[in-house]
Amino acid sequence: MSKSEGKQLAINFTANLTEISETPSTDKEVQDGTWTSKNTYDGWAYIKDGNIGTNWRCTNVDNYVQIQRPVSTFNGIKVYKPGSYRPTTYNILTSDNGTNFTSRKTGNFEVSTGWETITLDTPITANYIRIIFGLVNLVTIGELSILVSEKDHQTSVGDFTITGQEYTFVDGPDHNGELLDKTYQVQESKRKTGTQDTIELIIKDSTPFNSVIGDLTVAYDQSKGNLMGDGGAVEGFEETFTPTDLCPYLNPRIREYINASVDSIIDLIEIIKTNTYAKNEYIEANVSATIELVYIDLINP
């Protein structure tokens, strides 16, 4: 990756990491991802246009609305039911591949107009969520959101510190200035999704590793942390390493230079030969040439 894109570090523990104190679960309403539907009668896009006055409608009991997202922890759905032709029942299903679905919760909607939240008994991690609505003749939905968990076994930000060195300026090899000690602010530390023994450190956006020189040092403070392993609390540690993945490629945040030189060959062609009486006489001529550099294109790294 380019140095300016380096905003994450991962720490993989060789022993079992059994516990990290969790922050309270927060359900986030989202309408992103790829939405599809089956047997829609009218305006399926209205189900997520932010307007409860427009409706998605369906007249077929063999219906569903499906959302595909990156692997997410689904906690449920939130539905706005209009004043007429409200859904009667629901069936919430999830899938990892979009083909094989497992029903996670079924039930009846309340007989009322307005918002209703359906929460899964157990949060489910999957790529797809599908909702089948029960109906009598016709069903209308004003809005639909899915609930995903923002909790990911977070530790406190003060657990870890990351330090390194950077030059005062990045302006060519002769104008970098003094080499300064640098502390990179950790915005979030959490268990890496899909892993048991890996902690992911997210660096604050304003301080990426855009010009780090040499090694980085990661330190864990046991007095502030809450990491637990098979043998009890994880002791404090400090590790220094060279970030080999921060390759010195083209970097949009750093001024870069391209040196170009021009080579040319000039051929002198004999046009006419004039005999002279004195063989030791000769003509001396200076040769000049103009080379024009033509702009072709701008390469944006």
Specify whether 52 is located in the same domain as 105: yes
State the CATH number of the domain containing residue 112: 2.60.120.260
The structure tokens 């003509």 sit at: 283
pLDDT tens-digit map of 242-275: 876 554 444 444 455 566 677 777 777 766 666 6
Number of domains present in the structure of the chain: 2
Q: Which of 196, 213, 241 is at the close of a domain?
A: 241
What is the predicted pLDDT for the residue at 107? 95
Q: 34: how many CB neighbours lie within 10 A of its CB? A: 10
Instruction: Report yes or no: 229 and 15 within 8 Å, Cβ to Cβ.
Output: yes
Specify whether 17 is located in the same domain as 158: yes
Instruction: Report yes or no: 254 and 213 within 8 Å, Cβ to Cβ.
Output: no
Specify whether 18 is located in the same domain as 46: no
Out of 140-154, 155-169, 201-215, least confident range: 201-215
pLDDT tens-digit map of 48-99: 888 888 888 888 777 889 999 877 788 899 999 998 889 999 999 999 888 9
State the CATH number of the domain containing residue 237: 2.60.40
The yes-or-no verdict on residue 22 having pLDDT over 70 is: no
Strands (E), the chain: 8-12, 17-19, 27-30, 34-38, 56-58, 64-81, 89-95, 102-108, 114-133, 139-141, 143-149, 154-155, 160-167, 179-184, 186-191, 198-203, 216-220, 228-229, 232-233, 237-241
The answer to whether residue 53 is domain-embedded is yes
Q: Which of 241, 256, 276 is at the close of a domain?
A: 241
Specify whether 226 is located in the same domain as 124: no
3-state helix, strand, coil in the chain (%, to 5): 5, 45, 55
Instruction: Report yes or no: 155 and 190 within 8 Å, Cβ to Cβ.
Output: yes
The answer to whether residue 229 is domain-embedded is yes
For Cα atoms 171, 172, 175, give the angle at the middle one, nearest 5 degrees.
65
What is the predicted pLDDT for the residue at 224? 73
Specify whether 139 is located in the same domain as 163: no
The answer to whether residue 171 is domain-embedded is yes
CB burial readout 2-16, b (16+ within 10 A) else e: bbbebbebebeeeee
Q: Which of 119, 149, 179 is at the close of a domain?
A: 149
The answer to whether residue 293 is domain-embedded is no
pLDDT tens-digit map of 186-242: 767 777 777 778 887 777 655 556 567 778 898 888 877 778 777 788 888 899 988
Q: Which tokens belong to 215?
A: 């090694």
Distance (Å, whole) CA 22 – CA 190: 9
What is the predicted pLDDT for the residue at 33? 85
The answer to whether residue 275 is domain-embedded is no
What is the predicted pLDDT for the residue at 57? 86
What is the predicted pLDDT for the residue at 6? 55
Q: Domain residues for 117? A: 27-149
The structure tokens 């956006």 sit at: 205
Specify whether 17 is located in the same domain as 161: yes
The answer to whether residue 256 is domain-embedded is no
Q: 73: how many CB neighbours lie within 10 A of its CB? A: 18
Identify the residue with better confidence: 300 or 177. 177
Specify whether 92 is located in the same domain as 234: no
pLDDT tens-digit map of 102-136: 999 999 999 999 999 999 988 888 889 999 998 88
